[in-house]
Structure formats: structure tokens, C-alpha cells
Amino acid sequence: MNKNIIKDNLGLKLLSVLIAIVIWYVVVEVNDPIETASFTVKVTVANETYIANGKQIYHIDDDYKTVTAYIKSNRSTLKKITADQITVTADLTQIVDIKRDPVMVPLTASRQGINPANITLSRTAIPITIENIASKVFPVSVSYGESVPGKDYEVGKVMPDPEQISINGPESIINKIDSVVAQIDVTGMTQDGTKSAKLVLYDQDSREISEETIEDDLSFDGGVPSVTVYVDLWKKQTGVKVKVNYAGSPAEGYHVDSETTNPETITVVGNDAALTALANNGDTISLPDKMFSIQGAKDDVTEEVSLADVLPDGLRLPANAADKLTVVVTVLSDETRELSLDADHIGVRNLSSDMAISYDQAVFKVRVTGSGEKFTSMTSNDIIASVDVSGMGEGDYTVPVNVALPSGVSLETPLAIQIHIKSKNDDSSGQ
């Protein structure tokens, strides 16, 4: 029976609840209760000339440039109030003790239609520092952050306009400025051009000086400058070879067999003129003769070269590229030669049919000794090499290489190589 009582006239009951809510809302609105609302308001300074006399200036710390104003009024009135309708004034003529550092300036607040007695502030006074005016000229540097030009391009040179800026303001702030940076975005650029820049000031701790401080406390000769940056794009060139030059000669009875570099080729970026000159030289950069010497050498000479020191004007390495180049000048006795043996030319004996073999290197160096026509004319094709993997299952092994050479030619030192054996059905092999 109780269930029926709840369900009886359910629609009327819900309607009654809704009407009660509406009546409550109307009563509240009609009564228009007194409430308090808060607003964040920027402090306005009055009578600035009281301090700013040509030699001194005032400075307000960013933490004190805004205050919270609490207004007590009817709800209907509060709904119409916005922060920009409220004025909070720091009148410099009301400074109590001008010799105090910092001086305290009382605040007053007003809003049209509101009794000042109904406005209270989060603080009744703010500290103001009075100090000498300073001026300093700063060079303008350029930053493009992490933005990247179009494919195969890098930023070569950047030229800001103006190149330097004179800034005036309180001495304490001027002394904090460490750098003036023109920030630009070069994303997707594929040709030279001029970009509009955002001017950013940094202090000695690399922290950005707030725009509020710049706007309120600093001035620029001729007004806030409109900074632009001309961007000179350089193009990438891959596959550049490095020609090895050196001073001196090996010891008597020895000769230079080869010169190699690691990496074999490099990538550079450069302007049009430098890249044209590079192309005319067969995309080859030559190391200076006097960078290192092989005078009297009886063994290989290895040197590490800084590429930044040898690249011609107008060329440089790409961003984040390694600067070091390892140069190896192979010096052998006159009875010794060094030949290259391709891994594909190494025979494999006794490898199980369900196994596969791989090598750490694609090419191995083989040094041989001898004399006569067969020695001087032999090539890597005259080398017959093989490895025996009898009884070897999956794993990594160092194995000797069996080498057969023409008569009168022998290995200078035995050759051993690293091999890897895996099952052909092993999923970890990537198949």
C-alpha cells in the first residue's frame, strides 16, 4: 500500500517540488542579499613626477603590482562589476618617509557607485624602491629555439636589425640584464628571408625578465623597437670525402700503403658559393699538409682531427654532428702489403644446414709478406680463405681463418675473426 501512496499523483508531486525551487529562487533574487566579491586589480601610480625627476626613478616589484580588492554590495550590483572598473591608486605624494628604503605608499580604492567604505584591499600599502636611472647598450643575439628549416637546410647565418639596443630604467634592473635575444621561428624555411622577432630579455641566471617589468619599468631609445632577423639558409651536402695529407716520409725500407678516414665520408652544410667550390673539387676536402707527420714511421700513424679546424670558409658541420675525424695512414715494410678480404669471399665448412653464419665486419684486412712479381701483382681475388665451424652450435665465436696464398707469399700474422651462428628458424634473428 505504501508503494501506491508514493506513486499516486507522482506528476503533481514532482511539479510541486519544481514550483517550490522556482519560488525560492525568485524570493532570493527579490531580496537581493548583501555579499562580498573579490577582484584582482593592477595598481595605478599617481603623481609619478614627485620622484621621477630625471635622475631618479621608482620601481615596484612584480609581486606588488596587483592587489585583491574586496567589494561588499548587493548581489545584483556585484554581478555588474569587472576588475577594470576598479581603480587602486598609489599616490606618491602620500609617501610617509621618503628616506626609508623601500618607501611605503598607501593605497586607495574606488569604483563608481560603490561607497569607498565598502571596498577593502588585501594590503593597505605597497613598497616602492627609489633609485638612480641607468642606461646601457646591449647587443642583440638571435635564437630560433628548436624550430627546424625545411629538409636538407640549416640556418647558416642570422643578422638582427637593429644589431644593438639602448635600454633605460632603474639601475637595479638594468644591472640584472645579461642578454637581449631576438626569438624567431624558422620552421619549414627553404629560402633566405626576413623574419619578425620577439624581443626577450634574460638576467644573469638565464631567467626571462617578465613582460610586465619591461612594460612598467624599462624604456627604449626611440620606443620599443620592432626587431627583424635576416636568415641566411645553408644547404646540406652528403658524401663529402676527406683527402689525407701529411708531412714527412716513412723510415727507409717502409712505404705508405693507404690512407683511410673514419667516417669514410662526412656531411657538411654551406652557402651557395662554398658548395659550388666544393663540387668543383669533386666534393672533396683536403687536410692541410702540416696537420701531422709520418716522418720516420715504421708502423701505422693514427691521428684525430677536428673537422671544425679544417673546413673551408662557408662550410660547417650540421647541428649535433660529431666533430672528430680519425685518420689512419697505413705504413708497411717494403716486403709487406695489406689487402681487403670481403666477408662474402670467406668459405664456410661444416656448417649445419639448419644454421646461418654472420660476421661483425663486411671487410677484413689481410697483411701479407713476400717478394717478386706474384707478390707485387696479387689482388684480394688471389686469397682463398675459409673457416671451419665443425661442432659449433648457436653462439658467438672467434675462429682462425685458413688462408691460401700464391707461392712466395705468406701471412704476416695469423687472421682470426668474430662469427655469429644462429638457427635459421630463430625468430630473434628478425626473420
Instruction: State pLDDT tens for residues 274-318.
Output: 999 999 999 999 998 878 899 999 999 999 999 999 999 999 999
The pTM assigned to this predicted structure is 0.65
Which helix (H) or strand (E) element contains residue 325? strand 324-333
Residue 374 lies in a domain: yes
Considering the domain architecture, whether residues 198 and 148 belong to the same structural domain is answered as yes
Considering the domain architecture, whether residues 344 and 268 belong to the same structural domain is answered as no
Give residues with Cβ within 8 angstroms of 264, minimum separation 6: 241
Which pLDDT belongs to residue 373? 86
Considering the domain architecture, whether residues 358 and 403 belong to the same structural domain is answered as yes
Residue 226 lies in a domain: yes
Q: Is the peptide bond before 127 cis (omega within 30 degrees of 0)?
A: no
Which pLDDT belongs to residue 429? 43
Region of poorest pLDDT, from 177-181, 251-255, 372-376: 372-376
Residue 155 lies in a domain: yes
Taking alpha carbons only, the member of 344, 336, 317 closest to residue 413 is 336
pLDDT reading at 202 higher than 60: yes
Which of the listed residues 172, 205, 233 is the one where a domain comes to its end? Answer: 233
Residue percentage of the chain with pLDDT more than 70: 93
Residue 42 lies in a domain: yes
Region of poorest pLDDT, from 45-54, 220-229, 396-405: 45-54
Considering the domain architecture, whether residues 317 and 377 belong to the same structural domain is answered as no
247 DSSP β-pair partners: 293
Considering the domain architecture, whether residues 160 and 218 belong to the same structural domain is answered as yes
Q: What is the CATH number of the domain that holds 50?
A: 2.170.120
Which pLDDT belongs to residue 431? 38
φ/ψ of 79, rounded to 5, equals -65, -25
Which helix (H) or strand (E) element contains residue 23? helix 10-31
Instruction: Give pLDDT tens digits for 3-16.
Output: 555 556 666 767 77
Positive or negative: CA dihedral 32, 37, 42, 48 = positive
Considering the domain architecture, whether residues 255 and 209 belong to the same structural domain is answered as no
In total, how many domains does the chain have?
A: 5
**pLDDT-derived band at 1, boundaries 50, 70, 90:** very low
Residue 272 lies in a domain: yes
Instruction: Give pLDDT tens digits for 36-87.
Output: 999 999 999 998 888 766 678 888 888 899 999 999 998 889 999 999 999 9
Residue 307 lies in a domain: yes
Instruction: Give pLDDT tens digits for 82-140.
Output: 999 999 999 988 887 777 778 899 999 999 989 999 999 999 999 988 888 899 999 99
Q: What is the CATH number of the domain that holds 320?
A: 2.170.120.40
As a whole number of angstroms, the longest Cα–Cα distance in the chain is: 123
Q: What share of the chain is helix, strand, coil (3-state, %, to 5)?
A: 20, 45, 30
Residue 238 lies in a domain: no
- Measure the CA dihedral 16/22/25/26, to 10°: -120
| Mean pLDDT across the chain | 89
174 DSSP β-pair partners: none
* Interstrand relation of 193-196 and 384-388 (parallel, antiparallel or unpaired): unpaired
Domain with 65 in it = 34-123
Q: How many residues does the chain have?
A: 431
Q: What is the CATH number of the domain that holds 409?
A: 2.170.120.30
Which of the listed residues 62, 94, 123 is the one where a domain comes to its end? Answer: 123
Within 100-190, strands assigned E span: 103-110, 119-121, 125-143, 153-161, 164-170, 177-183
Residue 239 lies in a domain: no
- Top pLDDT among 118 and 17 is at 118
Instruction: Give pLDDT tens digits for 347-394.
Output: 999 999 899 999 989 999 999 999 888 888 899 999 999 999 999 999
Considering the domain architecture, whether residues 144 and 224 belong to the same structural domain is answered as yes
Which of the listed residues 313, 333, 353 is the one where a domain comes to its end? Answer: 333
Considering the domain architecture, whether residues 226 and 144 belong to the same structural domain is answered as yes
